Structure 1
């Protein structure tokens, strides 16, 4: 996959590699886990152990070989990331989803369980597999940019290139990475088996005005809007902790 260079030359978008993997996790830890609305709603921003469990989710998703990073060309620092998850249609209503399995088997903290159950709940409200008559999709799972580099369209660049990565996935992973590349902390993860299918759509749960604006700009179709007041953690709704009546969008674009 070719690198994308921003118009001002300050950033390049490239596939995640073993070398950029630690920096990508740091972006999630510093940005997504602290600033993202849903992270505030379920108090991951106050729970380092829960944040670590989300990093494990990111590592697991990275094994799909579809995640991208934004790198500052001058310093080589990873300043943004899109951890993308390739989802394959389950064989029946009794088969558990990736997020359900992760929450049950890997999460001990209530905050991380809450966020992952939120993702699974919202995903389940619109069956994109049936709506588009497909068996595989790529979900932009976690999108984040370091605070010091915001306002430079990095999120948009990452989403644009994620759509391209989804299209190219039929020829194999664009960002191949193995369990052994991730270090001993993630040695418990299971290596991926080759897929017999490939993504037909790119989807996302847009949870902030910023990501919703990106989705609109890139012509994602919004299939449902869900108020974050519907989701509870430790006796309070997500919206109460965020301090505003915010909502998320379930959106997708055909490839």
Structure 2
């Protein structure tokens, strides 16, 4: 396992399996482990793909083969063992996911060249716009780091939303990044609500693309992003190795999701 992801394996072993318990809702935040990968993929297929702006407008949500290709890519990200889940303590089922992966400058510089080898036009469109906005952000130079933790997917089951569970997943990703000595946490957020929450957590916009301006072959790709959703924004914040999160202190300032 030498050199696995260039991370210190001992640092990973020191990360607790259960990070937080939201006692009011009987929900816990924990690491996503192998035994729950399949459940997490089904959760993403049901609760994320049909509603995600990029998936819906890009045609992925209506193509079973493309959905499978996308899920396989998320499975690859899960195998980085930096993803988080929210679990209902009563049913023991996943009710929220935050798929993460460590992103390195050396890999980022090769991403654009790999896009053309992806199977399927819909997945290729999504990865292409991800690559475009990352290239505009200069996130590695901005934080003077060669390694950041990237949030890929944040999704909470509808009946558990507006209880602060999504917020707690994001907060926990900062703690996770700090424990692994990452320089920053970043994500590409496609809705106004997620962008607002990111700002309240200290994240800043490093690059954004207006939906109305993203045109391919003379056609607007995102013709119906939904009310209040105007841009795709790459947001990020620095994390410190000793960082911890005071949930109660932050609660009044952070919009619930």
TM-score interval, smaller chain: 0.7 to 0.9
Once the two structures are superposed, residues 178-237 of structure 1 have per-residue CA deviations (whole angstroms, 9 ceiling, x without a partner) of xxxxxxxxxxxxxxxxxxxxx210011111122112202211112233202333468642
Q: Does 1:216 align with 2:221?
A: no
Which residue number corresponds to residue 231 of structure 2?
247
Where do residues 13-28 of structure 1 align in structure 2 (5 Å cutoff)? 13-28=29-44
1:129-179: CA deviations, max 9, x gaps? Answer: 111111110110111122232222221111111111111124xxxxxxxxx
* Counterpart position of 2:12: none
Match of 1:68 in 2: 84
Structure 1 residues 33 and 248, CA gap change in structure 2 (3 angstroms) = same
Q: Which residue of structure 2 aligns with residue 39 of structure 1?
A: 55
* Structure 2 contact 84–99 (Cα < 8 Å) conserved: yes
Report if aligned partners of 2:100, 2:150 keep a CA contact under 8 Å in 1.
yes
Q: Do structure 1's residue 116 and structure 2's residue 132 form an aligned pair?
A: no
| Whole-Å separation in 1 of the counterparts to 2:100 and 2:141 | 21
Alignment of 1:80 with 2:63, yes or no, is: no
CA RMSD of aligned residues (A): 2.1
Q: Which residue of 1 aligns with 2:105?
A: 89
Contact 1:126-1:223 within 8 A present in 2 as well: yes
SS in 2 for 1:239: coil
**Structure with more relative contact order (C-alpha pairs < 8 Å, separation 6 or more):** 1
- Unaligned runs of at least 5 residues, structure 2: 1-15, 240-257
Structure 1 residues 231 and 53, CA gap change in structure 2 (3 angstroms): farther
The structure-2 alpha-carbon separation of the partners of 1:236 and 1:74, relative to structure 1 and needing over 3 Å to count, comes to: farther
Displacement of 1:15: 0.2
1:113 Cα deviation after fit: 0.9
Length-normalised TM-score, structure 2: 0.79
1:1-255 alignment, distance < 5 Å: 1=16, 2-90=18-106, 95-97=109-111, 100-101=113-114, 103-105=115-117, 107-170=118-181, 199-232=182-215, 236-242=219-225, 246-255=230-239
- TM-score, normalised to structure 1, is 0.80
- 2:133–2:208 CA contact under 8 A, matched in 1: no
Q: Give the length in aligned residue pairs.
A: 222
In the TM superposition, residue 72 of structure 1 has moved relative to its aligned partner by 0.9
